[in-house]
Structure 1
Amino acid sequence: MPGTSTSMILRLHGRVAALAVAGMALALAVPVPATADPVGAAAAADPVSVLKFTAQERREALAYWTPARMKAVGKSVDLGPTGPKAKPWRGTTLKSVGRLFFVNVNGADTWCTATAVKSANRSAVMTAAHCVRRGSSPVNTNFSMVFVPAYHKGKAPYGAFAVRSAAAPRSWEKDSTNDMSALTVDADKNGKKLTDLVGSQAIAFNRPVGGTISSFGYSATRPQLGEELLRCVGTAKKENGTQAIPCDMSGGSSGGPWLADFNATTGKGVLVSVNSSLDSLTPTKMYGEVWGATAKKVYDRAQQG
């Protein structure tokens, strides 16, 4: 079982390899691919790949991610100083945004950022595909996954929600393209659906690139080390088939929301992408996918789950 060391993920733009920073030595865990969709002719024709977790796996994930473990996971990671572009968010609490804790394919405790969105089942959460599974490798999937909305300095005011299934483009599974994912989470221990408790962000597909974007994430930069939500603000521009904004958040912010039309008073906006990759080890730009028809199919699979 992994200890409190962590392996942070935020890809370098244009590269398949992940940017990983490890703490102490870790025991390797071999992920079990049995819960993933079979990769056969029928599966290959489906543009969406779905990773499912059993009821027992979900119970074990909730038991594993104790408050102490959540608090400890960032202590062995330091990806440099925060800012100057990224700044701590001091506005209204973004109840729909939280930390996505999981154990990665190497057996290390780690996290990403994720967002509850409007959905038919009131249980859909958007993040990056590389927070769910390794690209170009169908069997290498993360596990023990829980979403903690409004996480802040060790506090989880709305509890933790076990991830029941994780949908992603099959193109990510096959060749590391289209880095986005939509999760379906269980109700909480009292039977309450996620967005009934924390609200949700609107979501848009096929939206033209441009305008002011607020990007949020639990970056593993100091002094926050994933314990506080950071924000970057900038104008989105097309770049090499994706979109980019000025931002220097790092690992841990992966999957964090790109909110257009963001209202700082209400904390509401329109989700148009998520943090996917950086331009360099010393970042100046954050990249996000341009969400089109495939992204909509991924989202639909999650909101119907």
Structure 2
Amino acid sequence: MAITCSNYRRVLPSVSGDDEMKRTLVALAVGLLASGLVAAPAEAFSVKTDPLVSSQGAAVEVATFWLGDGGANLKNATPYNVQTAVDLALPRGGVSPDNKPVTIEPLPPSTSGVVGAKTPTTAGKVFFIGADGQPHWCTGTSVQSKYHNLVATAGHCGYDTQRPGSTLDKWVFVPGYSDGTTPWGLYVGKQAYTHYDFTTYDDYDRDYAFVVVYSGVVSSPSGGLTNFGRLGDNVGGQGMAWNQPLASSVDVFGYPAGPHPDGKRPYTGETIESSSGRMTTATVPSLKAEEFIAVDSPFTGEGSLGSSWLVRYNNSSRMGYLNGITVSVADTDRNLRYDTSLSPYFDGELGQVYSDAVLLWSGAILPA
């Protein structure tokens, strides 16, 4: 799967509080995957990227933190409750493609062990330490990439909005997580990518992140760590789609766990859940979000942040195209039950963040 890259330059502005400076100049030209890709548009914005660990040795320490003591920290983590719900989501707003539509074909897993799975093995939990110093989790999804090492999630499940400009600590991805198990290994985050406007201006229309992960590890019988191979080889990777018309149907996969406003808890957060609905546009005043999309979904907010929205999902292959990521939920009819999930619209600016992330190689954290 060949990727070609042209030289490009990012120009970062000095930070100020003026929202009129939200767009900064940058010349971007990146060739994408040969299978179904076209060049992304040149847009006036910058990609924000930051390391999640300082070295492979530090990555080993992160993996040991989560897998040690029988995975106690995984089991004790709680669903992230930052920006999980909004008071008002208006059924209006405008989203429009900024260039031609782009689709990237899914990556089927190379292992046979996923046969028989009823939900996408690409879905899993991302675990991290929040600003409160406690272990938390969101939902994440393995997506197609050159090095089979990329995870998509909500921007505020990669970057800490309570500590502006900072990434979340001890970030890992566990695909297929269920009841404390790591059936397809644990993958330590190496580098995070998001839109500059999200971390600098709290622009929730850009609340998405892509994280390059190291190859997986599992606990060994001796209590140490054992290599487990690349993420995409083990579970595959969902395709990508941006600058698309709103789909008539989209399947949502995540780990909802929190309560509805009425206090009821229909989900445990221990296993992957799914829902489906039609996409519409939405405006969220509390987030100053004018380019959101919405889907009918009964998911509660806590735990489902980062849930994948897959268009053209195939129940047999469990593959589709990522075209949305849950960043919040809403109770639009005010009956004290969440009924809507919300996502930024995927346009060419998201495509450029993704295109930068797919070019980074990671490798393993342990010797072969």
Aligned counterparts, 1:277-292, within 5 A: 277-280=328-331, 282-292=337-347
TM-score (norm 2): 0.64
Pair 1:54-2:54 in alignment = yes
CA contact (8 A) 2:139 2:304 kept: yes
Query: What is the rounded CA distance, in whole Å, between the counterparts of 1:99 and 1:139 in structure 2?
Result: 23
CA contact (8 A) 1:212 1:260 kept: yes
* Partner residue in 2 for 1:264: 315
CA contact (8 A) 2:122 2:142 kept: yes
Pair 1:207-2:211 in alignment = no
- Give the AA of the match of 1:65: W
Query: What is the rounded CA distance, in whole Å, between the counterparts of 1:187 and 1:255 in structure 2?
Result: 21
Pair 1:183-2:227 in alignment = no
* Partner residue in 1 for 2:353: 298
* Partner residue in 2 for 1:226: 269
- For structure 2, the residue ranges without an aligned partner over 5 or more in a row are 1-11, 16-23, 26-44, 85-115, 218-226, 259-264, 284-290, 361-368
Q: Which runs of 4+ in 1 moved over 4 A?
A: 39-42
Measure how far apart 1:238 and its partner are.
1.4
* Partner residue in 2 for 1:237: 280
Measure how far apart 1:275 and its partner are.
0.6
- Give the AA of the match of 1:246: D
| CA displacement 1:230-251 (0-9 Å, x = unmatched) | 1121001112221101113221
Query: What is the rounded CA distance, in whole Å, between the counterparts of 1:236 and 1:110 in structure 2?
Result: 29
Query: What is the rounded CA distance, in whole Å, between the counterparts of 1:153 and 1:223 in structure 2?
Result: 16
| CA displacement 1:44-93 (0-9 Å, x = unmatched) | 7561111202124322221111222212224999x9xxxxxxxxxx9624
Aligned counterparts, 1:97-246, within 5 A: 97-135=123-161, 138-177=164-203, 178-189=206-217, 190=227, 192-221=229-258, 222=265, 224-240=267-283, 241-246=291-296
Measure how far apart 1:106 and its partner are.
2.1
User: Which deviates more, 207-216 or 142-151?
Assistant: 207-216
Structure 1 residue matching 2:242: 3-state secondary structure: coil
Measure how far apart 1:136 and its partner are.
8.6
TM-score (norm 1): 0.77
Cα distance change of structure 1 residues 114 and 226 upon mapping to structure 2, 3 Å threshold:
same
Alignment counterpart, residue 73 of structure 1, candidates 69, 74, 77: 77
Structure 2 residue matching 1:94: 3-state secondary structure: coil
CA contact (8 A) 1:135 1:175 kept: no
The percentage of counterpart residues that share the same residue type is 26
Structure 1 residue matching 2:138: 3-state secondary structure: strand
- Give the AA of the match of 1:255: G
Query: What is the rounded CA distance, in whole Å, between the counterparts of 2:145 and 2:311 in structure 1?
Result: 18
Cα distance change of structure 1 residues 75 and 144 upon mapping to structure 2, 3 Å threshold:
closer
Number of residue-to-residue matches in the alignment: 257
Pair 1:276-2:276 in alignment = no
Cα distance change of structure 1 residues 75 and 139 upon mapping to structure 2, 3 Å threshold:
closer
Query: What is the rounded CA distance, in whole Å, between the counterparts of 1:233 and 1:120 in structure 2?
Result: 29
Larger radius of gyration: 2
Aligned counterparts, 1:11-22, within 5 A: none
CA contact (8 A) 2:131 2:163 kept: no
Measure how far apart 1:301 and its partner are.
1.7
Cα distance change of structure 1 residues 98 and 191 upon mapping to structure 2, 3 Å threshold:
closer
Measure how far apart 1:253 and its partner are.
0.9
**Superposition RMSD in Å:** 2.7
Cα distance change of structure 1 residues 186 and 213 upon mapping to structure 2, 3 Å threshold:
same
